[in-house]
Every structure is written in structure tokens, then in C-alpha cells.
Amino acid sequence: MSIEVKMPALSPTMTEGNLAKWLVKEGDTVKAGDILAEVETDKAIMEFETVDGGVIAKILVPEGSENVAVGQVIAVMAEAGEDVAKVAEAALSEESQPALKVEKAEDAPEAKPASEILSIDDSLAKAISNAGYGKKADAVSVPDQGKIGRIKASPLAKRLAKKNDVDLKNITGSGPHGRIVKADIEAFIAHAASSPCAAAPEIQSNITHDTPHQSIKLSNMRRVIARRLTESKQNIPHIYLTVDVQMDALLKLRSELNEALASKNIKVSVNDMLIKAQALALQATPSVNAAFDGDQMLQFSQADISVAVSVEGGLITPILKNADTKSLSALSVEMKELIARAREGRLQPQEYQGGTSSISNMGMYGIKQFNAVINPPQASILAIGSGEKRPCVVDNAVTVATIATVTGSFDHRVIDGADAAAFMSAFKHLVEKPLGILAQ
């Protein structure tokens, strides 16, 4: 039986991707674990491994193709003993059939298109189709349609679907032989959160302007940024708290540390020290190291800091895991490696997905103060302004100090103002008395 190779969901937010490069050609024999292609997701260029062995009979989507939907068949493999030429011919024949061909499960009645079963709003049908779960009408089935054969899904996928009230009949799996896996459920949930049936209709381009201009197509990354930040501002009630932090002691300590680390070719940045201070402040105020999750809240036991990094075409947030337990030198080395891979588009999903809180530093651009948008599903983010010389009162005397304005954005559904204030106070204390950063 031939094996369909489908566009995988390589991140929870991915509903489509660009097929950047095929690393195999028709006629090649591959085994489980071999790399088939490079796929450009909304965050990075990632390698796509096969979970089955066989012979590449036909490549249906050429390299360089953009906006390939998750779940779309991109190639067909022949299993051992199969006639490769016949598999390729059958794949081409099926590809030429109308898009709304219904797959029939063994011994199951033929499913009718959803539009014949129930009157469904066109926008809903379009949203589900755009989610990338195949071009077959059974991907738009409804709960009352009845069971159509046995649905193949991993135990983890079934548990995740049950927890989020996801009907498995609405999903085409990207695993072996169409098996539904965890990534398929996560991608479906991420898409549903922004689909027309769950939110306002997608804004279509309708701007007319007399001023000469050019239209620039949004990249996958920019589209995801636009969707996620809109989701954040629409769904998360932000509360903002701002403090002025004296930086002189931290800057002096940084200079001394870098002198001591010069022989190891390690240079600690101000941002490295602020990340460590944030992680320690989260551990000091565990009620802030949390996330909203429907009818419950998640309280995290470790501080994983997502760091906003500007890359070509957008923004990505590599994660420093267990930032509170790492030395400044180790944290600095890891951060530099993550930034380098982020700008090359080579981060792995586990290096930018997750995190318990974020930090965004625009001090290097001379920005005095700003309010950052929370990165869902997180519940907090720190916005760091530039350090500048300002007059201030120290011991009842006016003096000049290097001061930075820091603003915290918090999800008010799970973080109360008093808890957020305690976190900001802890952060300020650690920055102004930075030996506490080294002591932990």
C-alpha cells in the first residue's frame, strides 16, 4: 500500500509552510528517520524527517512552493515490493481528481460533503479548509454525521483532543498512514482560535491610496505575529506597572565580571544580567510565574525566559530555560548561540516554544519607555527602556544616576496587581543590588 507524505505541523502555530528544498528525489530509497525536505515555518527553516521507509515514487509539490497547507500530500512513497511506476501513476491520477473527493474508511458508507449534511456557514467551511487538513470533504464533517470507520490517533492526541473538546473527525492526521498525532491537534487548536468562527472575520485588503506605493506580501512569520498579537490584545486583559531602576551598581558589576572573564572570551551583556534578575524575581513571586488555561491556571516551578530577538522579517523569542539556576557566564554563552541560530532561521521548536515569561529590551534604540504586548499563552512580559543619566534623590541629596524605566505587562486574569507589584519590586531590588544575582 502506498504511503502519503503530508506537509507536517512543525509548530503549534503552523497551519501552512513553504517547501524550501527537497533533499531526496524520485526513485530514492529512504528509511525511517531520513531527512526528506527543508520546510520554512512561521519561525524557522526546519528539517522534515520521514517516519516510514520506502521509495520516493512521486513528488507532488515542487521545492520553492509557498503556503502549502498542513496535511496536504506533498509526495507519495512505495512500500517494499510495490511497483514504483504504478504508485507514481496512481498518485498523479488521484491528484487530477476534484478536490472534494471523499476518502472512505474500510467497510464504511461514503461520506457526503458537509454542505449536503448540514448548512454550514461558508466562512466556517473556509476556515477549516484553510487549516490544512487535506482537501477532502470529510475534513469538514460534523459531530452528528455518525462514526465513519475507526479514527487513527495516538493516545496523547486523543487525550489532548478530549481536553480541548476537539472532534477528531474534523482532523486529517499527518502521522504514518494518516494517524492523528499531538502536533495535528495543537495546530487545529491554534488555527481555531483565530478562525472566523471563533473571532472576528479576517480582514481583507481593501485599502485604496493615491500615493505611489508597492504591495509587499506578508511572510509566514509576519502573518503569525499579526494574528498572535491581535489575539493577545483582544483576549488578554493587560495591566501595566512601571518602575524606575538605578543601573549604576549593575553596570559597575558587569564591568568587573567582564574583566574577570576576558581570558575565557566571554562578555556578559546588560541584557544577560536583566534576564537573570527577571528569572530570580519570578522564583521569588511564584504567583506571577503562571499562565491562564481556561478554567485553571498553571503555576510553573522553573523560570524559562523568552527573549525577544529581532530577525529579518519579524521577531522570534528563543528561550533560556532554567535561567534562574544558570551562572551569568553560562547564560551569556547560551544566549549568544540562540541569537545566532535565530537569525539564521535554524532554531528548533523546543528552543522558541514555551517559556514562562518574556523580556523585550529596546534600550539600545534609545527608547525611554514602552508597553510590551504579552506573548500568549504566557502571562507576563518585561519592557526595558534605555539607561540614561537623570537627576535623582539619594540620601536626601540630589545626585545624578543612570536610570532605566521598566514596564511589566501582566495578564490580569491570573495575576493580581499586588502580586505584579511584588514581582516588580523584587526585580528592581535585584538590579539595584546586583550581588544578589551572583549569589543565586
For the stretch 217-246, pLDDT in tens is 877 778 888 888 898 999 999 999 999 999
Once rounded to an integer, what is the mean pLDDT over residues 90-114?
49
Band of pLDDT at residue 399, cut at 50, 70 and 90: very high
Q: State whether CATH 2.40.50.100 applies to domain 3-194.
A: yes
Please, what's the largest Cα pairwise distance for the chain? 88
Average pLDDT over every residue of 161-185: 77
Catalytic residue among 209, 213, 412, 429: 412
Pairing of strands 380-384, 357-361: parallel
Give the global pTM.
Answer: 0.61
Domain ranges in the chain are 3-194, 237-438
Cell of 419: 502580586
Q: Which is higher by pLDDT, 141 or 349?
A: 349
Q: Which architecture, in CATH terms, is 237-438?
A: 2-Layer Sandwich (3.30)
Measured distance between the N- and C-terminal CA atoms of the chain, rounded to whole angstroms: 59
Report the chain's mean pLDDT, rounded to a whole number.
Answer: 81
Is residue 410 within 8 A of residue 324, CB to CB? The reply is: no
Are residues 305 and 352 in contact, defined by beta-carbon separation less than 8 angstroms? no
- More confident site: 367 or 194: 367
Identical topology for domains 3-194 and 237-438: no
Query: What is the structure's pLDDT at 418?
Result: 97
Active site residue 412: yes
Distance CA 170, CA 192 (A): 11
pLDDT, residue 133, reads 32
The three-point CA angle 311-349-274 to 5° equals 60
- Give the pLDDT confidence score for residue 115 in this predicted structure: 38
- The pLDDT assigned to 143 comes to 37
Residues sharing a CB contact under 8 Å with residue 112, sequence separation 6 or more, in sequence order: 102, 137
Q: Confidence band (pLDDT; 50, 70, 90) for 265?
A: very high
73-78 and 3-6 beta bridge pairing: antiparallel
Tens of pLDDT, residues 2-31: 888 998 887 766 778 888 889 999 989 988
